[in-house]
Amino acid sequence: MEVIIRPNADAAAELVARVIARELRANPRSVLGLATGCTMESVYARLVWMHREEGLDFSACRTFNLDEYVGLSGSDPHSYGYYMNQHLFRKVNVEPRNTHLLDGMAADLEAECARYERLIAECGGIDLQLLGIGRAGHLGFNEPLSALRSRTRVKALTPTTIEQNAPLFGGPEKMPRRAMTMGVGTILDSRRCLLLATGEDKAAIVAKAVEGPITSMISATALQLHPRCTVIVDEAAGSQFAESAYYRWIFENEPKWGPFREASPLLGENGSQVERPREKKRLEPAAGRMAGRSRQ
């Protein structure tokens, strides 16, 4: 596992988007595992920007989302299907038939979960799995005690998750009580994992996920078993790490992070977001800053 600490949430999201873009350029047929939640919104906004301004091409990629609420159809504004259309799918050139989500309205939920696992396998497995983290440390909806080898299935949501996500539904009573989610084992099977966490309220759980003992009580700790996992945080979410000096050293010195160290056209010198350029208008970078800069 590697941990990268960026100065703020914009810079963290920017790095995540650049890693995804690099993967997609290297392999346009990539199978991307996608996540939802507020944290991901700025990642998707950047991917949309890269599509429009830098020609990032989604036409051959395949996508699988982590999870979906039971009882919600993709046209329900609270569903993750709707979220994905709003934030990414309808704004880039991904083929709708290549985007996969669990069907929250499926009559046979178990069969739906089995179908999803089969489809992932038929596509050759997930190349890059994007992940957020819930306040109690879940990945997708892998709530406490999710088996570390679990596959896609239905999970009952915990009171903490209901409390965390209820504001988006206009109150806890309006929230579904169950969801379908890729299992921890499904996530661990992906070839690369990329977890993004920002904000102070994630600091304690991210520190446990990265540096604490592996436990099914916190499904994100299972990422310690993954051979290629990168955790990207902002200063606030990274404020409780014991080994942050080491993590900073890695990003500043390891050659593979070189292309990502330079300032981005979307970020100012201090790493905070500059005004987003309007559609189709190319942002002119500050003189000299782009010289020799790779497009990642």
What does the binding site for ligand GLP look like in residue numbers (CB under 6 A)? 35-39, 66-67, 132-134, 140-141, 161, 165
Residues constituting the chain: 296
**Cβ 41 to ligand GLP shortest distance, Å:** 8
Question: Is 38 or 286 the residue whose CB approaches ligand GLP more closely?
Answer: 38
What's phi and psi for 136, nearest 5 deg? -95, 5
Question: Is 47 or 265 the residue whose CB approaches ligand GLP more closely?
Answer: 47
Contact 180, 67 (CB under 8 A): yes
Question: Is 161 or 230 the residue whose CB approaches ligand GLP more closely?
Answer: 161
Question: Is 50 or 220 the residue whose CB approaches ligand GLP more closely?
Answer: 220
Question: Is 30 or 129 the residue whose CB approaches ligand GLP more closely?
Answer: 129
E strand or H helix at 6, and its extent?
A: strand 2-6
Looking up tokens 């992070």 gives: 257
E strand or H helix at 68, and its extent?
A: strand 67-69
3-state SS, 270-283, equals CCCECCCCCCCCCC
**Cβ 199 to ligand GLP shortest distance, Å:** 8
Cα 22 from Cα 259, distance rounded (Å): 10
Question: Is 39 or 63 the residue whose CB approaches ligand GLP more closely?
Answer: 39
Cα 224 from Cα 211, distance rounded (Å): 9
**Cβ 37 to ligand GLP shortest distance, Å:** 3
**Cβ 233 to ligand GLP shortest distance, Å:** 12
Tokens read off for 172: 């806890």
**Cβ 59 to ligand GLP shortest distance, Å:** 26
**Cβ 36 to ligand GLP shortest distance, Å:** 6
Looking up tokens 């299907």 gives: 81
The edge-to-edge listing of strands for the beta sheet with 2-6 is 2-6, 229-234, 192-197, 128-131, 31-34, 62-65, 99-100
